[in-house]
Structure 1
Amino acid sequence: MEAWMVAGVAAFLNWFALPQVGLSAVFLVAFVSATLLPLGSEPAVFAVVKLNPEMFWPAVLLATLGNTLGGAVTWWMGWGARKGTEKVIHHEARVNSRALRWLQRFGAKACLLSWLPIVGDPLCAVAGWLRLPFWPCMVYMAIGKGARYISMTVFMLWVV
């Protein structure tokens, strides 16, 4: 039975190996890395583009799409957390923090910063918590995340 499990895990990992599934792995890694899980997707994008330079734009676009959809999931998690909190405390949650007030002032445009390490993913959740408009947040997230993938991949390919 142990050999069966080892073979199954090996088959699963082989299926996700970059040279075999490339773009789908980039999409999946980018999606997961946009949630609150600590994972970086830039190495996956770089690996695909390094192995297949003609895949630059498809890899960057799929990474941007996956990362933006992951940001959407995080936005909805923030929205749901606020709704759940209000059910428990029986009144609307108040915005007391200076950072939350700053985010409310800038609105959906603040989601341009969702590409930042450490604070970017929580920013998407807070945007949902504050009930910032969903579609404008997604547009700004996509612009910020796309610019990051383009600049990081270009930097790693041609500068490093």
Structure 2
Amino acid sequence: MIGYFGLFSAAFIAATFLPMQSEALLVALMLGNQHVLAVLLLVATAGNVLGSVVNWVLGRVALQFKHKRWFPANDAQLARAEIWYHRYGRWSLLVSWFPVVGDALTIMAGVLREPLWSFVAIVTVGKAARYVALAMITLAWFPPSVD
């Protein structure tokens, strides 16, 4: 049970602006052959999506602080991010799993008032696809042994 909780936690933290790797833990748990693969994928996806929702919420409330000295982006950076997000639209959230860029995308989606339902749906598809692809690559490189 600790494996699932640890994976959920790692995936959750990895989706926020805090540094963490959930992919390595997923592969390690897969290679340990002590966990159900479908459950690992669901747990990792759920944790990662919920972490992205935290970023979305931060984005929703962030603009009220944009004139504070500690705010991480100036007006020009916000304008560039808004142009980029509008150019590629909500579908850019399919790559919300990319390192660094994904965090900014999920925060910008909150800033730009992307509806939560569409945000969660698109982010879930992108993040689940990433974990499934990682699992498929892992299984191709390290096929389970048949005893």
Please state which band the TM-score falls in when normalised by the shorter chain: 0.7 to 0.9
Runs of 4+, deviation exceeding 4 Å: none
Aligned residues: 136
Q: Distance in 1 between matches of 2:20 and 2:115?
A: 27
Match of 1:139 among 121, 140, 144: 121
Aligned-pair CA distance for 1:100: 2.0
Aligned residue number for residue 155 of structure 1: 137
Task: Tell me the amino acid that sits aligned with residue 86 of structure 2.
Answer: Q
Q: Distance in 2 between matches of 1:41 and 1:57?
A: 16
| Unmatched 5+ stretches in structure 2 | 69-74, 143-147
The CA RMSD measured in Å over matched residues stands at: 2.3
Q: Is the 8 A contact 2:29 2:35 kept in 1?
A: no
Aligned-pair CA distance for 1:86: 7.4
Aligned residue number for residue 101 of structure 2: 119
Deviations 1:66-85 (A, max 9, x none): 00000000111111111333
Matched, 1:28 2:9: yes
Which entry has the higher C-alpha Rg, 1 or 2? 1
| Unmatched 5+ stretches in structure 1 | 1-19, 88-92
Aligned residue number for residue 108 of structure 1: 90
Deviations 1:99-133 (A, max 9, x none): 42131244322211101122111110111111111
Q: Greater helix share, 1 or 2?
A: 1
Aligned-pair CA distance for 1:43: 0.9
Q: Is the 8 A contact 1:35 1:71 kept in 2?
A: yes
Q: Distance in 2 between matches of 1:135 and 1:110?
A: 15
Bigger RCO (CA 8 Å, 6+ sep): 2
TM-score (norm 2): 0.82
